[in-house]
Structure 1
Amino acid sequence: MRHSLAGRAESPMQARLLARLRDDGPLSKAQLADRLQVSRTTVAAEVGRLVELGLAQEAGPAASRGGRRSTMVDLAEGIRFVGISIGATGMSVGVTDGRLTVLATRHLSCDIRQGPEVVLGAALEGVRSVLAEVGVERPMGAGIGVPGPVDFDRGISVTPPIMPGWDGYPVRDAVSRELGCPALLDNDVNVLAIGEQHAGVARSVRDFLFVKIGTGIGCGIVIDGQLYRGVDGCAGDIGHIRVDDFGPTCACGNTGCLEAFSGGAAVARDATAAARAGRSTFLAERLAENGVLTAADVGLALQRGDTEAVQLIRESGRRVGEVLATLVSFFNPGMIVIGGGVTGLGHALLAEIRGVTYGRSLPLATGSLPIVLSELGAEGGVIGAARLISGSVYAPLAGRAN
C-alpha cells in the first residue's frame, strides 16, 4: 500500500496527544486523560478529530478497569517520516513510522566539500530508494542534519568551516520542494542528541550532553528535556574552544582549537606524521597500501597493540576530557553521551576521556555522572532527524522542534 498523508495537528492538545502516543506507544483514552490531566470527553473529541486528519486511529477496547471499557488509541499506521543525517564523509538516510521506529535505511559515503547540490542530490537519491522500499510516495515530513552551524528559523547553513559552498544555501527548502513535504534543518550534533533522547541511553535523562567526535567535534545540549540551540543557533560548538595558544591551525582559521587536536581529521594527520617518521610500522604499511590514513586505521593499529596508536588516542582523549571537565563544572549534566565516527576507537578513547573528566571535575559534579558511548550507531541521526520533524508536524505551534 502507498501512503500520502498531509494532515497535521490543529491544536496544542492534539499535539500533546500525538507526542504522548509517539513516545509512550498505544494508550487507552482513559490513560491519555490521566496522563494529560484532562477530561475523557476532551480526549474523545480530540482523538476523533485526529482520526479524521489521518494522524491517529482507534485500536479496539482497552483492558477493563471496572465499568465501561475505554478504547485504545494509536498513531495512524501510514505515518512516515524521513531522516537525513549528513556528516563530513558519510551520510545516513532512512524512513521511520510515526513512533520513529526505523523501517529502512541507507548508509552512503560522501564528501561535504563537494557542495550542496552534489551532496543533497545523493541524499535525495538515497531517500527515494528507501521510500520506494517501504512503499511511500510522499512522507509527512523530513528532518535534516548537517555538520555545521545552522540558522534554524531560516533553514540554511551559516558560514560552516568544513562545508565550502554551503553558506546561505536553502537546504530546508530544497529538500521540502524535492520531497513535497515539510522539512526542518539543524546541526548534526543536535539531531544526534534528539535521537539519543528518544531512543538511546539518555532516554530517561532530562539534562545531558551529547558529544560527537567525528571529522569535527560538537556538543548537543539538552536542558530539562529540551534541546538548547543558543541565541544564534551555535550553542555547543565546543570543537572551536581553544585548548592551546600555539596549536595547529583549525578549519575555522583559528589555532589551537580542540577539533584541530582531537577531531578525526586531526587524528589522521598525526597518524600520517607518525607513519612517515617511522614510529609505527603498522601505520606506515597502511599508508603505503592506501595512500592515506584515517582514524579507522588508528583504531586497527590500536587493536594490534601499536604503541604509537595508543599514544595518539590518549592524547586525543585527554584534550576532550579537559574540555568536558570544564563543561561539567559549568553545566552539571546528568549524563554525557559520546558518539560520532571516532568513537569506533572504542573504550580506549572513552577510558581516557572518563579519566581526565572525572579527575579534573569536582566530586560533587561527577559522583553520579555516567560518561557512556552511544549505542544507536548510524541510525541515531535518522531517528533524531525524524524526531525533529515529527515535533513540527505533530504540533501546530511554529518553531516547535521536539
Structure 2
Amino acid sequence: MEILRMAFPAALALAADPIASLIDTAFIGRIGAVELAAVGVSIAIFNQAARITIYPLVSITTSFVAQEQTLADTTIHTPKSDHPENDGGNKEQIITPQDLEKGSDKITSTSKQPPCGDDVTSEVKKGKRHIPSASTAMVFGLVLGLLQTLFLVFGAKILLLVMGVKPNSPMMKPALKYLTLRSMGAPAVLLSLAMQGIFRGFKDTKTPLYATVVGDVTNIILDPIFIFVLRLGVSGAAIAHVLSQYLITLILLCQLVKQVKLLPFHIKDLQFGRFLKNGVMLMGRVIAVTFCVTLSASMAARLGPTPMAAFQICLQVWLTSSLLADGLAVAGQAILACAFAEKDYEKVTAVAVRVLQMSFVMGMGLAVVVGVGLHFGSGIFSKDAAVLRLISIGVVFVAGTQPINSLAFVCDGVNFGSSDFAYTAYSMVIV
C-alpha cells in the first residue's frame, strides 16, 4: 500500500505530459500530415536535448533529498550521549549524506529512528526544512534550462538538417517554427522537473500531480484556441505548451517555498561535486537511450512525411504507456533510498521484489490495452489512409514491448534508490 500510495499519483503525473503531447499530436494531425511530421522531428530533437539534462537531475535529486530528509529525521530522534564528558552534553549527532556513502556507522540500531515512510516529524513541520540538495537541484535546473534554450534557438536549423530534413523539404519551415518556440519553455521544464524530484524525495507525489494536471489541462484548452481560432498552426501548439510549462513551474515553486528554505543559501552548502559526479554518469546513460530514439526518428524523417507521421504517433503512444510504469519506479526509488539510509535491509529486499512483481503485471495489462486501443483508435490521430496503414504495422511493436518496458523502468528505480548510478550508466551504454 505504501508503494501504491506513491506510485499512483506519480504515474498519473508522469503520464500527464505525454498525454498532453498525444492531444497536441491529434490537433496538429488535423492540420495535415506534413505539419504532423515536422512537429514529430522537432519533438524528437527537443526530447533528446531535454532528457540529457532532465533525467540525471530528477533521478539524483529524488535519491539525495530522500536520504537527507531521512538523515535529518534520524538526527532529530538520536538521543544525546549518556556521557556528557565526551561531547559537552549539548551536541547533536550530525549525520550527513557523505557519511551514508562512506558506510558510516553513526546510524546504529541504538539510535531511535523514525520508520521509513512516516510523515515528516512534528519538529520539522514547525519550520521550513533546510535541504542542501534541493537548493542545488534548483540552481542546476535554472542554469541547464537557460543553456538548453540558447542551444536549441541558435542551432535549430542545423539540428533539423542533421535529422534529415532537407532545406527544400515542406517540413523545414513548420519544424523550425515549432522547435524555436518550444525551446523557450526549457527553463520551465528543467525547473519544474527538478522540483518534482524534490517532492518525490519527500514522498509527496500528489503535489506534482496537481501542478501537472492544471498545466496540461491549460495546454489542452489553449491548443484549439491558438491553432484553429487564432490560426497560428504549429506555432500555436508550441506557445500553448510553453505557457502550460511555466504555469506548472509557478504552482510547484509556490508550494515548495512553503516547505523548504531555498534562499539564502551558502555556496559551501551546495553539493555541486556530488551532483556532477553522479550526473555525468547518468548523462552518458541518457544519451545512449535517447540516441536510439532520435536515430529512429531521423531514419523515419528521411523516408518522408507519411512514415514520419506514423512513427510520431506510435512513439507518443509508446512513451505514454511506458511512463505509467515509471510511477512504480519513482515510488520504489524514494522508499528504497529512505530504507538504505536507515540500513533497513529487509525492507530494501521487500520493496524491490514487490515493485518488480507489480511492474510485470502492469506490463502485461498495458500490452493488451495499448494493442487493442491503438488498433481501433488510431483514426483519432490522422485521417490519412497511408499513415493509418503504417500505424497498423507498428501496433505489434508498441504493444509487444510493454512488459519489457515496465520491468526496465522499475529496475532503474531500484538501482537509483540504492544510489547505484554507475551500474545503470555502464550497463545502458553497453546495451
TM-score by length of 2: 0.26
Bigger helix share: 2
TM-score by length of 1: 0.27
Bigger strand share: 1
